[in-house]
A and B are shown apart, each in its own frame.
Chain A
Amino acid sequence: DVKVTQSSRYLVKRTGEKVFLECVQDMDHENMFWYRQDPGLGLRLIYFSYDVKMKEKGDIPEGYSVSREKKERFSLILESASTNQTSMYLCASSQGVNGNTIYFGEGSWLTVV
């Protein structure tokens, strides 16, 4: 089975801190995604990546950056965390996109105080 592992399930960070959310997939998938999920807003795409060192902005990239130095790992970085970034963050991967299943991690609950 495909496994997408998010390094932290729950985090509490202070405003202004730099935050790293790590995600690893074990199926050699080309595509990886970071979504943010808030009540009533569903999943919103932050960034995605087609390949190592490649990244594309999603719908809400402001305040975030990403890094993909290795194919299996996709990191989401909050350069200076703010309270409005308190949310659940979901990492996902797929082998291509069209017609392919996206596999999700269990999510990381980030609280910024």
Chain B
Amino acid sequence: SQQGEEDPQALSIQEGENATMNCSYKTSINNLQWYRQNSGRGLVHLILIRSNEREKHSGRLRVTLDTSKKSSSLLITASRAADTASYFCATDANDDMRFGAGTRLTVKP
């Protein structure tokens, strides 16, 4: 079964705005990762946050993790048209990786 569930399913914003995507999961995890998928392509790793971390930054990406609420958020600041893609969270609770259904982000120029 899917471990992570992303919210919203789809998000449309203007270039320059910030985009926030959320992920909720059901069981305890070791780590949570975010991946990006351009249309019709494979997934590419963006960032990993460990269960003992609360926040992590990488360039324009900011990830938070709240293990008490079993949730994570991905913030993309100053979005660009090139950020248009689907974003997935993935958890590795049981020696395998489970992905959510993803958030489809559209950034309009």
Which of A43, A48, A92, A104 has most B Cβ within 10 Å?
A43
Interface residues of B toward A: which range? 20 to 34
The tally of CB-CB contacts under 8 A between chains A and B is 65
Measured between beta carbons, the chain A residues less than 8 angstroms from B99 are 35, 42-43
**Chain A residues numbered 1-41 whose CB sits less than 8 Å from any CB in chain B:** 4, 33, 35, 40-41
Measured between beta carbons, the chain B residues less than 8 angstroms from A104 are 42-44
> Does B2 count as interface, using CB distance less than 8 angstroms?
yes
Instruction: For residue A105, give the distance in angstroms from its CB to the closest CB of chain B.
Output: 5
Which residues of B line the A interface, CB within 8 A?
Answer: 1-2, 9, 30-31, 33, 35, 40-45, 48, 50, 88, 90, 92, 95-102
**17 CB-based A-B contacts, threshold 8 Å:** A4-B42, A33-B96, A35-B99, A40-B9, A40-B101, A44-B2, A45-B96, A92-B97, A97-B92, A98-B31, A99-B30, A101-B48, A102-B33, A102-B43, A103-B45, A105-B42, A107-B40
